Amino acid sequence: MDTRRDFIKKSVVVCAALSLPLQGAANAQTVQREMKTRDPKRALVVSYSQSGFSARYGKLIACLLKDQGLAVELADMRRFDSKRLPDYDLILVGSPVFYYDIPENVVDWLSSAPKLTGIPVAAFVSFGGPEGNQHNALCHALHLLAEKEAVPVGMEAFRSIPSYPGSWDSANQRSGEHLPDEATYNRVREFAKQIPEKVRQGQSFSYSSEIALREIVRMLPLVWLNKKAIGKHTVDGAKCIGCRTCVKMCPVGAIHPERQFVDQDKCIACFGCLNNCPADAVVVEYGGKKLYGFPEYLKRRKITILEPREFQHCKL
């Protein structure tokens, strides 16, 4: 079976042959805008998490901000109304990097936000490999927030175990199996410390996208192309335990386990259903081969994900 990297390489060739138009990368410069406050009292840490890593980093950030005296709300983007964003003095948004960018559901959610005039914002992402285009993904998130008149104050990327089904035996997969480790969490801790300090000092954050081949690849219809390689995507009724975890984790409401049906028009090929089903009941065939999800991968490799020590006492 082709790996995702092989598939994308082939897709690039196909798209070049079809002369698909490409759009330029989102770019931004220093935002010259007065902050709403330099003494934040109420912070929001909101994330979309596909395999749990963005949510884990978000929870650690929220715990650390709370330890600094802020009133913190921790939220799942799938269940948080973006219209509430103006209620906060500081907003941190987290997401995985998927298809070399923040996922389209995250783009839609950020785009639906109202004006955030003067509110300091920061972005963080989790990513599974060194060539994930994480810098530009972060810039994209900050750019969307800046368009709402928010004030960017920082961004950071944290590497984790790759969680793309079908690549469990790759060299990149093996190189990340120890992540996140204590060094990863120390970087999260430093990020959580720096953001409020920058706000109190009134320091906005300057950022700009990089020009790279990965950015060109990102502009191809990768979700559509990847879905073309998925021959079967359904739910095994005999295995399904009715927990509806797949429904909870799907960001676009595409899966219906009671009908053993996945709406392919809505599906964004994030594999969140497969990667979170505790009963291995979600069936995905990619390139003619049945895939298995992240919980099964962890079980087969006997991997236990390290949790931050702060989680032993932190209550949010």
DSSP secondary structure of 175-208: HTTT-S-HHHHHHHHHHHHHHHHHHHTT------
Residue 238 and residue 170 share a domain: no
Which residues have a Cβ under 8 Å from the Cβ of 56 and sit 6 or more positions away? 49, 180, 305, 307, 308
Please report whether residue 294 resides in a domain.
no
The answer to whether residues 43 and 139 belong to one domain is yes
Q: Which helix (H) or strand (E) holds 127?
A: strand 120-127
- The CA distance from 284 to 292, in Å, is 8
Is there a single domain that holds both residue 193 and residue 242? no
Q: 194 and 133, same structural domain?
A: yes
Is 17 inside a domain boundary?
no
Q: Does residue 297 lie in a domain region?
A: no
Q: Torsion angle, CA of 159/165/168/172, rounded to 10 degrees?
A: -40
Domain of 235, CATH number, reads 3.30.70.20
Q: How many domains does the chain have?
A: 2
- Name the helix (H) or strand (E) containing 293: none
Tell me how crowded residue 24 is: count the other CB atoms within 10 A of its CB: 9
**Is residue 183 domain-shared with residue 56, that is, in the same domain?**
yes
| Residue 192 covered by a domain | yes
The verdict on pTM exceeding 0.75 is yes
- Mark whether 113 and 81 lie in a shared domain: yes
Q: Is residue 144 part of a domain?
A: yes
Same domain, 76 and 185: yes
Residue 94 falls inside a structural domain: yes
39 and 111 fall within a common domain? yes
> Is 299 within the bounds of a domain?
no
Residue 103 belongs to domain with CATH number: 3.40.50.360
Token pair in block for residue 190: 């430093």
Q: Is the peptide bond before 196 cis (omega within 30 degrees of 0)?
A: no
Residues 114, 69: one domain? yes
The pLDDT assigned to 25 comes to: 45
Q: For every one of its 316 residues, what pLDDT tens digit does the chain have, with 9 covering 90 and above?
A: 445 555 444 444 434 333 333 344 455 455 678 999 999 999 999 999 999 999 999 999 999 999 999 999 999 999 999 999 999 999 999 999 999 999 999 999 999 999 999 999 999 999 999 888 999 999 999 999 999 999 999 999 999 999 999 889 999 999 999 999 999 999 999 999 999 999 999 999 999 998 877 777 878 899 999 899 999 999 999 999 999 999 999 999 999 999 999 999 999 999 999 999 999 999 999 989 999 999 999 999 999 999 999 999 999 9
The reply to whether 165 and 248 lie within a common domain is: no
Q: How far is Cα 292 from Cα 176, in angstroms, rounded to an integer?
A: 18
Helix/strand/coil for 46: strand
Does 52 map to a domain?
yes
Identify whether residues 123 and 234 lie together within a single domain. no
Q: Bridge partners of 285? A: 232, 290
Residues 143 and 186 in one domain: yes
Tell me which DSSP letter residue 112 carries. T
Q: Tell me which residue range forms the domain holding 236.
A: 230-286
Q: Give Rg (Cα) of the chain.
A: 20
